[in-house]
Structure 1
Amino acid sequence: MLRRLAVALSASVALAACGANGSGTGVDAKHIVIGVHGPKSGPAAAFTEGAIAGFRLYIDQINAQGGIAGRTIEIVEADDQYTVSGGAAAARQLGDKVFLAYNIIGADPAIGALPEFERQGTPYLTVAAPLELAQESKVAFIFPTPLELLAEAVPSFTQTSLDPQGTKKVGLMWENQDLMREMRDHFTAVAKEAGLDIVVTESFDRDAASYVQNVKRVRDAGADLVVLLGGVAVPEVLKAAKTIGYAPTWTGAGAWTFDMMNAASGGLMEGVQALRAGPVADAPDYKDFLARLHKTRKPSPTDELGYSGWAGAKLIEQLLRRLGGDLTRQRLLDELKSGTSEANPIRIDSLPPIWYGPDRRYGSAAAMPSMVRGGHWVITGNPASRFK
């Protein structure tokens, strides 16, 4: 009996690892296993809760409609604590169990996770990561738009939309973390090429007790247009500016371009123009998403991030359907490296068309000109990688 049990266990392990039809890690005859990591503990946990809710909502919808290639999708979650080391630990937890992995929020965890997934050969989709690090990877795909590419578009957006006469002195404020440092470098390189007059560059910490001194240094340098490259700390930067009566033209790109961030600022983003990777609350299917979500939970400030999770699940669905039932990691990686380009993009309501291939492996370079009107971010122009 023990021998029979050992044989059965060996068979089940082989099935889980290789798939009932030899499909590969994370796939068997009935299931496709997707790994999701995000900060389930720590100060960013509330953001992950919203994003995971949206992701699960869309996956449940896929499964209710019969799944993909006759298989239902299972989700395995890991806590990355919103840190580099936590991302690495989450990747080690997921890598040999899943068909593909998805980073639901934040660049820092991706920095730690990506080398682990690279070592394991696990296809890795991430909402954020340093572009240079991802471009060196054989398994990574950044979506919606690498933030460095958004930052590259800000100088020409400034010149065409915000300061066509070229009279404003530009200040740059960036959140002191790796990805925003990359955004800063990409922005300043293009700004120099474009001839922008940058009079000051000032970093700020995500968890600083006060941002008044940072803002004062930018004001005292004479900046009357300030580019913000940052995330959750930006509302506090705007509040600090109001405290000292500093009211430049604000613009920029990054994770601060959400309605929830405007609300956190007390409405100080009203009238601000910036670049986003794609629509959120102004997306065509956002109301449908909310109606479905609120059948399962009460309205929450993180519903926008829930929509980001929903959009990520949509992207994964489209990728899996493109495999045509050939559900192997190598087939997925081949698809991500294929020359689909602009002729055959993935289209989902929450993002500009996404294409990938040797010339643009990591997603659309589109940037969405947007403005806060009546408390909501709305798209004000067509997406473009550079503004002429």
Structure 2
Amino acid sequence: MTPRSSRQRALAWGAAALSAQLILTACGAATSGAETGVDGQRIVIGLHGPKSGPAAALTEGAITGFQLYIDQLNNNGGIAGRKVEVAQADDQYTVSGGAAAARHLSDRAFLAYNIIGADPAIGALPEFERRGVPYMSVALPMALAQDSDVAFVLPTPLELLAEAVPSFVRNKLDPQGQAKIAVMWENQDIMRDMHDRFIRAADQAGLRITATESFDRDAATYVPNVQRIRDAGADLVVLLGGVAVPQILKAAKQIGYEPTWTGAGAWTFDLFNAASGGLMEGIEALRAARVADAADYSEFLRHLHKTRQPGPTDEIAYAGWSGARFIEQLLLRLDGEFTRKRVFDELTSPTFKDAPIIVDSMAPLWWGDDRRFGSAEALPSKVVDGRWTVTGEPASRF
């Protein structure tokens, strides 16, 4: 089991202590005929994200895409004659905000979806645990999901992306094993786990790690961070992070530092390449899912741009659209038996791996009995003419 922070361990212990309550909650609802968030006319999906604060613009895009798909679903008759309603809550991109959002949604929604952000998911999970609410997250730390009876992570957990990077470096970027490698990682729990998993996998792959450097998401400058890894002699830098990565690339350019960049994380969106001023051109990295290069992305844009003008958050809106498609496929598999117990039974079924949920943007999504995540596959990708483009087949090792 991966080493965890004290906060993660505390949440995991709380999840274990509440597992008996979860079972009673789920089974009691199934036998009583009453189920929160479901009646003869509707199914309510709880959705939380930072609708205020620094990530609000990204969330607005994701919610737009999610709601767009749900509207189309309802226009086509909904699910088993029921309309799907979306109950929203603002988590403010904080742990405490996630907890408050979950309390708001738990008594309203049949199941819940975390549309962006690890910190809110960490706060929300214990609240959903207490009430036995099925919880789908795009960014929950994997160790917490594995210890939970209600949580599932999709598409591929960031920690598993980080584990795949060393073999990608060894076999694709540095087959001669000559690179001096540094890893830069965002200073937060989920990125710390990414770093730790990367280091262990790098040791197994025989990579030469010359430096590790953490950075804060909202630092005034990243020049000192970049200078330290340059001074350590690194000529290949693995980036494990998100919105700060464009500023790191700009800091490197400012001091004339030009290593090979790679890595994994939320920064592998075209909008972050644009924010970097094109400095990601030619970078090869691993992604959890397709976006602008997905098979149905053009179809999505056609629908989206009937409702609003094209904008920089179109990709994020597509991520929301994909999440709604996943939930639709899950609900269809329930065959009209809308109980939380039925959801858990479906997602943890031994046969689920043989018949995964297919969404165009994601690797096939399935869960095992003890590993509650959507996929273990990473997508090798490269920025070509300003666009992240998949360059090979998805795999957990390369």
TM-score by length of 2: 0.91
Q: Which residue of structure 1 aligns with residue 326 of structure 2?
A: 315
Q: Which residue of structure 2 aligns with residue 137 of structure 1?
A: 148
Deviation (angstroms), 1:363? 1.1
Distance (whole Å) between structure 1 residues aligned to residue 34 and residue 269 of structure 2: 40
Q: Which residue of structure 1 aligns with residue 344 of structure 2?
A: 333
Say which of 19, 25, 28 aligns to 2:39: 28
Instruction: Give the ranges of 4+ consecutive aligned residues of structure 1 lying more than 3 Å apart after TM superposition.
Output: none
Q: Which residue of structure 2 aligns with residue 200 of structure 1?
A: 211
Q: Which residue of structure 2 aligns with residue 260 of structure 1?
A: 271
Q: Within the alignment, does 1:128 sit opposite 2:139 as a pair?
A: yes
Say which of 371, 393, 397 aligns to 1:382: 393
Confirm or deny: 8 A CA contact 1:18 1:27 kept in the other structure.
Answer: no
Distance (whole Å) between structure 1 residues aligned to residue 152 and residue 370 of structure 2: 13
Distance (whole Å) between structure 1 residues aligned to residue 351 and residue 217 of structure 2: 38
Q: Secondary structure at 1:148's aligned position in 2?
A: helix
Q: Deviations over 1:172-191 (max 9, x none)?
A: 00011111001001101111
Q: Which residue of structure 1 aligns with residue 98 of structure 2?
A: 87
Confirm or deny: 8 A CA contact 2:145 2:372 kept in the other structure.
Answer: no
What pairs up with 1:66-85 in 2 under 5 angstroms?
66-85=77-96
Q: Within the alignment, does 1:176 sit opposite 2:224 as a pair?
A: no
Moved more, 338-347 or 301-310: 338-347
Aligned residues: 370
Distance (whole Å) between structure 2 residues aligned to residue 124 and residue 23 of structure 1: 19
Distance (whole Å) between structure 2 residues aligned to residue 25 and residue 69 of structure 1: 17
Distance (whole Å) between structure 2 residues aligned to residue 270 and residue 22 of structure 1: 56
Q: Secondary structure at 2:38's aligned position in 1?
A: coil
Computing the radius of gyration from Cα coordinates, the structure with the larger value is 1
Moved more, 154-163 or 356-365: 356-365
Confirm or deny: 8 A CA contact 1:366 1:385 kept in the other structure.
Answer: yes
Deviation (angstroms), 1:342? 3.3
Distance (whole Å) between structure 2 residues aligned to residue 97 and residue 235 of structure 1: 39
Distance (whole Å) between structure 1 residues aligned to residue 94 and residue 318 of structure 2: 23
Distance (whole Å) between structure 2 residues aligned to residue 357 and residue 204 of structure 1: 34
Confirm or deny: 8 A CA contact 1:239 1:265 kept in the other structure.
Answer: yes
Distance (whole Å) between structure 2 residues aligned to residue 104 and residue 357 of structure 1: 23
Deviation (angstroms), 1:240? 0.2
Q: Deviations over 1:106-158 (max 9, x none)?
A: 10100000111011100000001111011110000000001100000000000
Q: Secondary structure at 2:48's aligned position in 1?
A: strand
Deviation (angstroms), 1:23? 4.9
Q: Secondary structure at 1:152's aligned position in 2?
A: helix
Q: Secondary structure at 1:182's aligned position in 2?
A: helix
Confirm or deny: 8 A CA contact 1:340 1:357 kept in the other structure.
Answer: no
Confirm or deny: 8 A CA contact 2:48 2:101 kept in the other structure.
Answer: yes
Q: Deviations over 1:261-313 (max 9, x none)?
A: 00000000000000000110010111110110111111111110000000000
Q: Percent identity?
A: 69
Distance (whole Å) between structure 2 residues aligned to residue 370 and residue 151 of structure 1: 14
Unaligned segments of structure 2, at least 5 residues: 1-27
Distance (whole Å) between structure 2 residues aligned to residue 32 and residue 341 of structure 1: 23
Distance (whole Å) between structure 1 residues aligned to residue 96 and residue 202 of structure 2: 34
Say which of 378, 384, 390 aligns to 1:373: 384
Q: Which residue of structure 2 aligns with residue 5 of structure 1?
A: none
Distance (whole Å) between structure 1 residues aligned to residue 368 and residue 234 of structure 2: 40
Deviation (angstroms), 1:18? 7.0
Q: Secondary structure at 1:378's aligned position in 2?
A: strand
Q: Which residue of structure 1 aligns with residue 64 of structure 2?
A: 53
TM-score by length of 1: 0.94
Q: Within the alignment, does 1:96 sit opposite 2:107 as a pair?
A: yes
Unaligned segments of structure 1, at least 5 residues: 1-16
Q: Deviations over 1:309-343 (max 9, x none)?
A: 00000000010001100000110011111113432
For 2:312, give the aligned amino acid.
Answer: P
Distance (whole Å) between structure 2 residues aligned to residue 187 and residue 341 of structure 1: 29
